[in-house]
Amino acid sequence: LKNVAGTSWGLSKNIRRQLYLTAVERVILYASAAWAHNTTARQQKLLSSIQRKFLLNITGAYNTNPSAALQFIEGLLSLHIKARMQSTLVRVGRLGRNCDYKGIHCGYESYEQPSPPSIIHPALFSLEDRIPHGGQGPSNRTPFEVYTDGSKINYQTCRAFCGIANTAVTKTWEAKLSAADTVFQAEMLALKVAIEWTNTANEEVNIWRDSESSLQALKSFYVESKIIQEAQMTFLGNDRIRIGLV
């Protein structure tokens, strides 16, 4: 690999960078989940020396430039850090183990785990007519409408919904999530809670969203998210609920 890094291959800088990210780095970090959990100082030095050759090749910088500066210029992580990241992801996400890295605790219970395939029969999974295509909303307005949203600003993740009956606000709800949660998780959790709440109403309800990705996920039959599956089950059980995009 060091010999390969000694030439520019006659390619532009951007292409050399992509080759490093998509080919070289993956070869170096192959099976890192097994060997990179506790890297020694010698292993870290070896990884740094290998990466340095490619950093010089990509940037075209002089040999006197420090590796840390070249990593910053190209936006590349040190190999031993990236290897540890991959190892932690596998241990927590696949093996169900708790991990600690530089004072950060990664608990298995704190992360959403893939769920078994949906138990809904494909013939009963009919959501296309209740979630319109192309960002359209339900054709008929109802006296009772619900608006939901999820957001993440300054590392603060929140979800909320608001129920309106005949132009009067009848229900408001909001909850704060962990800073590690994503906007998509907040959107889906807000939609799930709104569906569960409107399921108790004995009348037709329109739920309005501003996130098309959450609607597409709700319409998808092949999902591994427990949040989405639970929302689908409740939604399918009440044909008076319809969902649209604001």
Angle subtended at Cα 85 by Cα 81 and Cα 90, rounded to the nearest 5 degrees: 150
What is the percent of the chain with per-residue pLDDT over 90, rounded to a whole number? 6
pLDDT digit string, tens, across residues 74-85 = 999 999 989 988
The pLDDT confidence band at residue 19, using thresholds 50, 70 and 90, is confident
Pairing of strands 168-177, 156-165: antiparallel
- Is 205 within 8 Å of 146 (Cβ atoms)? yes
pLDDT in the model for residue 110: 73
pTM assigned to the model: 0.63
Q: What single DSSP character describes residue 123?
A: G
**Exposure on the CB side of residue 87, measured as CA atoms within 13 A:** 19
Whether the per-residue pLDDT at 157 is higher than 80: the answer is yes
Q: Where are the domains of the chain?
A: 13-110, 122-245
**C-alpha of 244 from chain center:** 23
Q: Determine which of 67-71, 94-98, 174-178, 198-202 has the lowest per-residue pLDDT on average.
A: 94-98
Taking alpha carbons only, the member of 29, 27, 8, 168 closest to residue 89 is 29
> What's the rounded Cα separation, in Å, for the pair 243 and 147?
10
> What's the rounded Cα separation, in Å, for the pair 59 and 14?
10
Segment 107-116 shows an average pLDDT of: 73
Taking alpha carbons only, the member of 159, 240, 141, 142 closest to residue 200 is 240
> What's the rounded Cα separation, in Å, for the pair 138 and 239?
13
The interaxial angle of helices 183-198 and 212-219, nearest 10 deg, is 60
Segment 88-99 shows an average pLDDT of: 81
The pLDDT confidence band at residue 45, using thresholds 50, 70 and 90, is very high
Which residues, other chains included, contact 17 with Cβ-Cβ below 8 Å and sequence gap of 6+? 58, 74
What is the fold of 122-245? Nucleotidyltransferase; domain 5 (3.30.420)
- Exposed/middle/buried for residue 89 (C-beta within 10 Å: 0-12, 13-18, 19+): middle
- Is 107 within 8 Å of 97 (Cβ atoms)? no
pLDDT digit string, tens, across residues 198-234 = 888 778 888 888 888 888 888 888 888 888 888 888 8
> What's the rounded Cα separation, in Å, for the pair 18 and 15?
5
Structure tokens at 38: 């506790």
